[in-house]
Chains A and B, each alone.
Chain A
């Protein structure tokens, strides 16, 4: 098992080492890169504010919880604790992490619910967030069908996660 703690220091050491070998003006290129990064705030903040406002309303108003209860009553083969996880995963990274911790506390980390939620968490990234973030930095307004495709991919990944857990741990 690779200890992931060492990846970043080694990566940075490697970059510095290569820069040393090539004798480039690394200090200036670092500063230039940071300057470019500063412009990000201007593009990023408006788009994320819009998205986070809608998502916190969805979560805080209880609409998302209501929706997840509705699903629990219809689909019986999925453990009910895991359903909020499925809904939150594409929408909010911090919310799905909070649900995951709740599941670990309530059902145990090695229970079928705990394992299924872990697989779901690892199976896909936060689609809404990634799309807002990436498109807003370059000023794209028409995102075509990327949100729909992203959500379909999430659906495939999450269904696979549930199916595999039921087969191997069920």
Chain B
């Protein structure tokens, strides 16, 4: 990760200097701090709200119910944490909310799930098997309806607003499936 990061920065600067974009580079260096802050702040505020609501859902026993529903499927993917009902509940909630295309609301639940998995992690600075699997499910983005996309296509007066959805669904399913298979094959020793 560190090497990738350094290479991205080094090659970008070299290329930028090479084609004479010094002012653009300077602009990035001066503004990136504030840009990131502006990006993180709304995310944190929204996460606070959802964390509060999730805590209510947890205390009302709702997460356990959702977990129970998804358990037969999830226990194969996360064998090392299958007895932790709370964490499995957060994983189930994250996947469900993601499916409805509410990525913003799914993130706080995903972060709670990560905290739960970290409790079972033996090496605290290294990703555990469950974490890698969970991340693959999230990066592949199992989405049934993408609300942003539908709204965007509608705003461009598409004749067929939702026509792309069956194809996107197959593509996202393939991405998740391929990701999980590679994960199992590559990390089967863990």
Contacts and interface: CB of A to CB of B under 8 A. Distances in A.
B139 A150 contact: yes
Interface string A139-150: 111111111011
Given A19-B60, A62-B15, A134-B135, A32 B1 contact: no
Nearest to A152: B182
Nearest to B47: A37
B85 interface: no
B114 A161 contact: no
Contacts, number: 308
A80 interface: no
Interface in A18-69: 18-19, 21-22, 24-26, 29-34, 36-38, 40-41, 44-45, 48-58, 60-63, 66
Majority SS at the chain A contact face: helix
B156 A104 contact: yes
A149 B182 contact: yes
B188 interface: no
Interface in B115-153: 115, 117-118, 123-127, 131-132, 134-136, 138-141, 143, 145-150, 152-153
Contacts of B4: 147
A124 B57 contact: no
A61 B12 contact: yes
B51 A150 contact: no
Interface residues of B, number: 102
B56 A150 contact: no
Contact of B59 (A24, A121, A138): A24
B69 interface: no
A157 B171 contact: yes
Given A110-B158, A147-B1, 19 more contacts: A4-B100, A29-B59, A34-B48, A37-B52, A54-B8, A57-B28, A60-B16, A62-B19, A122-B149, A124-B140, A138-B118, A141-B126, A145-B132, A146-B131, A150-B136, A154-B139, A157-B172, A157-B174, A157-B178
